[in-house]
Each structure stands twice: as C-alpha cells, then as structure tokens.
Amino acid sequence: MNNTEERPQSPVGAHVPVAGGMATKGLAYAEKIGAETVQVFVSNPRGWATNGGDPAQDALMRERADLPVFVHAPYLINPGTPSEETAAKSITSMEHALRRSAQIGALGAVMHTGSAVSGTREEGLARARERLLPMLERLGEDVPPLLLEPMAGQGQVLCATVDDLVPYFEALDWHPNVGVCLDTAHLFAAGHDISTVEGMRQALDRFGEVVGADRLKLIHGNDSKAPCGSNKDRHENIGRGHIGAEPFAELFRHPVTAGIPITLETPGPEGPHAEDVATLKKLRAQA
C-alpha cells in the first residue's frame, strides 16, 4: 500500500493457557509463540464458579503495558435466555469477568452475544437489554468495555452477521462501554464469504458503515474447518481451513482494523500457535 500516513499496525497474539499462574505461565507461553497480545480466561470457561485471582499475578499482568490483554468470559453466559436462573448466573459471571479485567489491566471482556433459546430474536434481545443495561450502568467506567462477539449462527442466536449487531446495539441504547470482537471463523460460518481478500474487505466495509470503526476493539483471527454459511463454530489453524491465509492480509490494510489486536483461538498447543502467529506476522509485513 502506498500510504504516506502511518497506519497503526495490529499486534498479533493468541489465547494463552493460565493454569499455574496467569502471568508466570500465560506470559511465558505468549513469549514462546511470539505473541504481542493475549487473551485469557479469568475463571473456568465452562462453569459458573468465579475466581478471586492472585494479586501478585494480577500486578504482573498490569505491568505489561506493551502487551494488550483481553479477557474471554465463560461460554455459558447467555443474556437472551428465557431462564431467570441462567440469566442471574450470566450477569454475575459477566460482571466478574469485567471486574477481573479491570484488575489485570485488560482492555475488554469478550461475551458471546447469546441466544433466544426459544421464541423470537426480538424477545431475546429485549431480555438481553433488561439484563445487560442495568449491569453496564452499575459498573460505569470502573471496568473496560464489554465486547460483543457475534456467533456462528446456530439455533436462535441473537447475533451472527455484521448487520445483526445493529439491533443488538439498539437494544443496549448504543451504550458507550460496549464494543465488538469480530471472530473471522464465526463471520464465515454465519455467511460472510471472507475466503477472498475482496470478501474480507466487504465485510469490514459493512462493519464500518453500520456499526462504526470506533466500536471494534478486537479480532479473533481463526480459519474455519466448517464451510461458509454452515453455522458451525469450528476453528482451524490459519491457512488450513476454508478461509485460507491470504484474506487475513486485509486485516492489516483495512482502515476499520487499523491497530486492532488480532488474537488466535486456533488449535494448539505451542507449535501450531507459533506457526499461526508467524503466518500472520508475515502477512502483516507484506501488507
């Protein structure tokens, strides 16, 4: 590209394991694979239990101003559920993820946008509004943004495509402390054909038009084992799936993704992760 202005370049990293110490284990893993940004869980991603964390590890995380950190909230969270019990647990869990994000200096906490389970999407969005807005108001600016991650599109999901983000944001009154995490594998499964550079560009153009670049805070960079439009959430290593490596180069050129961290959630462990990080860095160098 023939830019005279400096485009802020996206750091590349991965979701890192934290068992045995978020900073001591997680950051060592990051270094091994060449990560410039990381995502972590702050509690069991498949459970409701919260976890107070370790103040010494938290401090070590906060010290790494050079390394953007993000939190992924548990998968069970669903603000659209008709079950009051699941809703209450979801809000407790999400609030925990946001508060822990603040404690470790994370830049946002990612939440899957959820499902209506039964009934219409409108009913699910109305329920998401009832549950999320009071939480966002209560937490105010004490926490980093809640990042909405559109899903692959299975069942009665509330949000899968770029355009689905609009009614979701409307339901939340475009709350200022809400951002977006776009997952390339989810977008592809939801029907955005990003298996070409042009397709990736169109999806990002559309995001800029209907949501706005200022809301994008994170990209989950994943190739997809499942075909376009399959509604199946199956991550694959970069270049080995149906998206292919080349379209990822557009993430380093498009204005909507300028400076936005790219985090892999591809099959590990270290070997394949290091390879994926290297592939993205190579694409970045050529962009």
Confirm or reject binding of residue 233 to Zn ion (CB under 5 A). Answer: no
Query: Shortest Cβ distance from residue 72 to Zn ion (Å)?
Result: 7
Region of 45-53, 202-210, 247-255, 265-273 interacting with Zn ion (CB under 5 A): 265-273
Q: How far is the CB of 49 from Zn ion (least distance, A)?
A: 22
Name the binding residues: 72, 112, 149, 183, 186, 220, 233, 235, 265
Number of chain positions touching Zn ion (CB under 5 A) = 3
Span near Zn ion by CB under 5 A; candidates 75-83, 181-189, 211-219, 225-233: 181-189
- Site map for Zn ion, 187-216, x if CB under 5 A? ------------------------------
Positions at the binding site for Zn(2+): 72, 112, 149, 183, 186, 220, 233, 235, 265
Residue 183 engages Zn ion in binding (rule: CB under 5 A): yes
Binding flags for Zn ion, 213-232, as an x/- string (CB under 5 A): -------x------------
Measured from the CB of residue 63, what is the shortest distance to Zn ion in angstroms? 27
d(C-alpha 46, C-alpha 20), whole Å: 18
- Least Å distance, CB 54 to Zn ion, is 26
284, two tokens: 């970045």
Distances in whole angstroms, Cα of residue 213 to Cα of each of 39, 84, 205: 21, 34, 9
Collapsing DSSP states into helix, strand and coil, what is residue 149?
strand
Query: Among residues 57 and 190, whose Cβ is nearest to Zn ion?
Result: 190
Count, residues in the chain = 287
Torsion sign, CA atoms 255, 239, 14, 71: positive
The set of residues, in sequence order, having a beta carbon less than 8 Å from that of 214 and lying 6+ positions away, is none
Name the percent of the chain in helix, strand, coil, to the closest 5. Answer: 40, 15, 45
Residue 110 · residue 73 · CB < 8 Å: yes
Task: For the beta carbon of residue 274, count every other beta carbon within 10 angstroms.
Answer: 16
Q: What are the residues binding Zn ion (CB under 5 A)? A: 183, 220, 265
